[in-house]
Amino acid sequence: MSFDPSIFWEQLISPVYLQGAVVAVLVALGSLVLAVAIGLAIALMKSSKSRVALASANTYLWFFRALPSMLLLLICWNALPQLIPALRSDWYNPFIAAILALGISEAAYVAEMLRSALMSVDDGQRLAARALGMTPVQAFFKVIVPQATRIALPPLGNELVALVKLTAIASVISLQELLRVATIGVQATYRYAEYYAVAIIYYLVVVSLIMILQSVLEKRFRWTSKKGRIAR
């Protein structure tokens, strides 16, 4: 059975693949937002002087680094509704379960990225902000976070790319993401090469767009930093 270009082109312009790509990107973005929110909390707990906070952060990192993402996905989709009655509803669908599972899992890695970025900001910046009359919260969000963001952008961009690819495992809970769409086509026609080739093209396009956006953001933050130095 040879490669059939007509099937390839027909699927390449099919809206079903585009919808699958959009779902994959939305799940990846939602997971990254959740991972950053949890990861920031864990990073701050790791920097805390409280033994309880430090122990809790270390326990989270230890537990969710040890857990395979696939297992956590199955737990979120199958086990959580069994334990939490509120999740036995139509609003809790594979899309939400995938964001929850991947966000919780990846937060264990994002936490260390954010902690490294926060630690790289000189402590004198915080002291200078306090000397100007800022509260600790104001100093954190107005002085520390902008500088840490510039440092955290490259690894977070890589994390988003990894999450786009990781959404493929959500096909096991019937989420209609990109790989699931290709698999359904393969099961119906047994044309492996054509359908998987289309999936490859869409993954390449999505990852390329993310890399371009990451580059633009990095340049913008680098330009802002230089402008700030010149102004001083």
Question: Which residues contact residue 45 at a Cβ distance below 8 angstroms, ignoring those fewer than 6 apart?
Answer: 53, 54, 56, 57
Helices (H), ranges, the chain: 5-12, 15-46, 51-66, 69-74, 80-83, 94-120, 123-131, 136-139, 145-166, 178-189, 192-231
- Identify the CA nearest to 184 among candidates 13, 1, 20, 10: 20
CA 135, CA 119: separation in Å to the nearest integer? 19
pLDDT at residue number 213:
93
pLDDT at residue number 140:
85
CA 81, CA 71: separation in Å to the nearest integer? 15
CA 137, CA 130: separation in Å to the nearest integer? 10
Q: What angle do CA 67, 72, 78 make, to 5 degrees?
A: 145
DSSP 178-223: HHHHHHHHHHHH--HHHHHHHHHHHHHHHHHHHHHHHHHHHHHHHH
Superfamily of domain 5-231: MetI-like (1.10.3720.10)
Question: Which residues contact residue 75 at a Cβ distance below 8 angstroms, ignoring those fewer than 6 apart?
Answer: 101
CA 188, CA 200: separation in Å to the nearest integer? 19
pLDDT at residue number 232:
40
pLDDT at residue number 230:
37
Maximum CA extent, the chain:
74
Q: Could you say which residues of the chain have pLDDT below 50?
A: 224-232
pLDDT at residue number 208:
96
Domain locations in the chain as residue ranges: 5-231
Question: Which residues contact residue 37 at a Cβ distance below 8 angstroms, ignoring those fewer than 6 apart?
Answer: 107
